[in-house]
Chains A and B, each alone.
Chain A
Amino acid sequence: MNYLFHIGVMLGIYGMLALSANLLIGFGGLLTMAQAAFYGLGAYAYALLSLKLGLPFFVTLPAAILLCAFVGWLFGHAALRFRNEAFVLATIGFQMIVYVTLYNWTDLTRGPYGISGIPRPSFFGLGIESVPAYFLFTLVLFTAVLGFMHLVCTSPFALSLKALRDDEAAAQTLGICPKGQYIRAMVFSAAVAAVPGVCFASYITYIDPTSFTLAESIFIACILLVGGSGNIKGPMAGVAFMIILPEVLRFVGLPDAVAANLREIIYGVMLVVIVYTKPKGLAGAYAVK
């Protein structure tokens, strides 16, 4: 039973990640490969603040969100001068820089040894210790993020982003400032990605840099490319598919080593096939350009 709750927690975490990336990829039309960097920053911010300063959860969560928003704002100024391949490459560069820093700044992050003993969140002395309880907690966070993203996605802001995505030059002739709107999107996206980071760190209670690699960023982008983006349904379909597929493969009884590679091969083939036959993904609203 705990196994199912564990899957539930993972679905929640990746659901939040997909929703955060959706704003840039699906609404802004900007293929970001840096989502895992913000995810990691959120996780490390939570771990360090609660371990080193002993701050309670209701302080560390907002702090992690603010930190990611600020870093996103800084990075946005640099990366959003670019579009297409140059933007992708800039986000890859940022992702690598964050990873290398987490890995090598051993005084702060303990580098490859990781940080262990991260506290589970507790409220009024009531800790969330068991997996089912943590599942409920994740569900609450996920619902909050989902609600927030729903509001963002139906807002005038999202309308302006979609206009920029469809035709940047035309949107500018209607008075929309591309840089301003895209930086806003980057800030929202980074801030939201901090939440799953916090959730992951406090759930596993141990983090090391290998959870926040470029491969992880690519995986998040794949969720949106396979499931679709530009609405709420698409990312949700992507998460369901990409997280549940490996579990199914496990039940089929493949040895773990084979299953891991096979899963990746299925993802890769799906990527090619979907982008060719169904550019909007399984349930998305935006056809990748």
Chain B
Amino acid sequence: MKLFLQLLGNGIVQGAVAMLYAAGFGFVYRSFRVFHIAMGAQFVFSCYAFYLCADVMKMPLAAAVCGALALSVLFALAIEWSVYRPFFRKGCSSGVVMIASLGVMIVVENVIALAFGNEVKTISNQLEPSVAFAELRFTRIQLLQFFLGIGVFASVGALVRFGKWFKAVWAMGEEPELLPVLGLPLARLRLMVMALGGVLVAIAAMLISWDIGMDPHVGMHYLLLGSVAVFFGGNDRYWAWGAGAMLLSILQSLAVWQFSARWTDLVTFGVLIFVLLFRPQGLFGVSKRLEEAK
């Protein structure tokens, strides 16, 4: 029982962080209609930006976080400027942009490996005594992950609900050509989506890399988890992404309890295929009408 509760707790903590990178993937996927593989690149980049600021340049923590966030936003904008926007202007289909995004992922991963080496890097943190609640123990970083994850996700959620321009972001996913007609600045909105996605992924990347370190090839793993969470929850609703991420993380953690840590990927992708088969719109998604069979 104790083990179960501890693993449940760990799952919830992981879920809180997973919500962030799932949302980072979801925003770009939902509004650009691009399977944002480069989100994996964003993740790795943010990890190493944080490492660079905190460990190599020995900045104080607050400055390192700000520096890494700034670099991450720049990186996100650079992807839009150099790849996504030219493809969008050319009118390329989502499949083509997905492949370009894959290209970005491969390039970034390997540039970072060239620059920093393939081995695991850690950021020195003071793992102060962990905190106990009744019989459960959590490290301080876990607490930080939980509160920051939930807090950031909820605040962005409030923005999505009440912010005016998020309506435009959602409309962008339906009819991008319509925005300029309505007098909305499409190019700027796209940059905003990229920047916001970049920030969300960067926060998650920093929280994770600070805890367990990083290597240049972690990006694909988190990309897969993020995209599975979005499909699992339902790709049309912000809250569904978070719920998908949380549920998925809890399931993974409980899989450790029932089987062993080695089978978590089986749970992840088993769940994915199950949901795709029996509820293609996602657990909390709305089924959409078929406009023209295509």
Contact = CB atoms under 8 A, between A and B. Distances in A.
Interface string B251-294: 00000000000110110111011001100100000000000111
B227 A272 contact: no
B35 A258 contact: no
B100 A271 contact: yes
Given A82-B280, A86-B231, 13 more contacts: A82-B276, A84-B94, A89-B228, A90-B276, A93-B269, A97-B273, A168-B294, A261-B110, A265-B106, A267-B103, A269-B103, A272-B83, A276-B86
Nearest to B114: A261
A265 B107 contact: yes
A97 B270 contact: yes
Contact of B277 (A78, A89, A261, A265): A78
Contacts of B269: 92-94, 96-97, 100
A7 B102 CA distance: 27
A288 B99 contact: yes
Given A97-B270, A169-B293, A288 B277 contact: no
Given A84-B94, A272-B83, A100 B263 contact: yes
Contact of A262 (B87, B109, B114, B227): B114
B95 interface: yes
Given A265-B110, A267-B106, A271-B106, A96 B224 contact: yes
B100 A169 contact: no
B186 interface: no
A218 B224 CA distance: 14
A179 interface: no
Interface residues of B, number: 46
In the complex, the 4 A-B pairs of residues with the closest C-beta atoms, listed nearest first: A268-B106, A271-B103, A268-B107, A272-B103
Given A81-B277, A82-B276, A264-B110, A97 B96 contact: no
A98 B106 CA distance: 23
Given A78-B273, A94-B273, A289-B93, A100 B266 contact: yes
Given A88-B35, A104-B262, A275-B99, A264 B109 contact: yes
Given A261-B114, A276-B87, A225 B224 contact: no
Q: Describe A's contact surface by its main secondary structure.
A: helix
A246 to B, nearest CB: 13
A85 interface: yes
A18 interface: no
Nearest to B260: A104
6 contacts: A78-B277, A82-B276, A85-B29, A89-B228, A168-B293, A264-B109
B69 interface: no
Contacts of A205: none
A261 B108 CA distance: 10
B293 A271 contact: no
A93 B104 contact: no
Contacts of B224: 92, 96
Nearest to B269: A93
B2 interface: no
Contact of A261 (B29, B35, B87, B113): B113
B105 interface: yes
Interface string A266-282: 01111110011001000
A169 B273 CA distance: 25
A143 to B, nearest CB: 31
